[in-house]
Structure 1
Amino acid sequence: MNTIEQIKQVIVEKFGVNADEVQAERPLGEYGLDSLGQIELLFAIEEHFEVSIPEEEAHVANLQELANLVDRFKAEKA
């Protein structure tokens, strides 16, 4: 399973979003995630992928940007 698919799974499981609604280019706010929800998502993603994403880099608009960020930090960690 690639990074975007894993992130989708986290969103579905943690936030109860319908899997059919989760799309890579859809803005995070459209999933009902306010700023606190987006922070919770970031923590869940960091835990799931075992990476640490600095706050100044964590501002992403959609899942594709988040997946790209995770991939970058996974590569740096390896």
Structure 2
Amino acid sequence: MKRKLTLLLTCLLASISLTIAQTSKKVTGVIFSEEDNQPVIGASVVIKGTSIGTTTDLDGKFVISNVPSSSRT
């Protein structure tokens, strides 16, 4: 009985942690110049209404991790 209870609690905690881990989003993209269609280096990208952001790399690419699931992208 004790072993079954331990197994049940372990499964419950594992499922809760997986649910919590999936409450954030990851936003990726590439920014190109409208004038010459070249990648924009060092552009600031910020999630509207937050202080979460990053800058683009040498290829104009960006990745923002841990975006709250309530944020609109």
> Normalization by structure 2: what TM-score?
0.28
- Choose between structure 1 and 2: higher helix proportion: 1
- Where relative contact order (Cα < 8 A, 6+ residues apart) is larger, the structure is 1
Q: Quick check: which has more Rg, 1 or 2?
A: 2
- Choose between structure 1 and 2: higher strand proportion: 2
> Normalization by structure 1: what TM-score?
0.27
